[in-house]
Amino acid sequence: MFKKKFKKSKPSLLKSFYYAFQGIKVNILTERNLAIHFLVMLLVIVCGFVFKISVTEWLICILLFGFVITLELMNTAIETAIDICMPEINPKAKLAKDTSAGAVLVVAIVAVVIGIIIFGPKILDLIIK
């Protein structure tokens, strides 16, 4: 009548962090778009030091790094889960995958616009001088 519940043992906190970093590492190595986002992030960090951006501008950049990379990771997770559950072509699966990719695109465009607002005047000052 009552089923005995067996609990799966949870991984230790260190193991959980290890798995999370493995997920990021594998995605950087296998997902072209995530690798591009990381390269752009490194370029922005270098530019931030070169142009001596303010603390507020750093905070905005760091938040945008987090948003873009998080959404890219979520997009990959969604697409992978859909591919496992729905290996055949399905219009609703396509819509879910396209919508997930669209979310990444929106945040990436917003990040570029904000990057132009932060770095544009500094680059123009450098060119004009």
Task: Look at the alpha carbons of 58, 59, 60, 65 in this order and tell me if their dihedral is positive or negative.
Answer: positive
Domain with 61 in it: what CATH number?
1.10.287.3610
Structure-token pair, residue 96: 């879910």
Number of domains in the chain: 1
Is 42 within a domain? yes
Least confident among 13-17, 54-58, 62-66: 13-17
CA dist 33 and 79 (Å) reads 14
Is 10 within a domain? no
pTM above 0.75, yes or no: yes
The length of the chain is: 129
What is the tens place of the pLDDT at every residue in 76-96?
999 999 999 998 999 999 999
Is 17 within a domain? no
User: CB neighbours of 92 closer than 8 A, spacing ≥ 6?
Assistant: none
Is 11 within a domain? no
Is 68 within a domain? yes
Is 20 within a domain? no
- DSSP helix/strand/coil, 53: coil
Catalytic residue among 31, 57, 72, 88: 72
What residue numbers bound the domain in which 121 lies?
A: 31-128
Q: Is 72 a catalytic residue?
A: yes
Query: Does the structure show a pLDDT above 90 at 56?
Result: yes
Is 43 within a domain? yes
* Residue 53: band (very low, low, confident or very high) from pLDDT cuts 50, 70, 90: very high
pLDDT for the residue 67? 97
Is 56 within a domain? yes
Give me the mean pLDDT over the 92-111 stretch.
Answer: 97
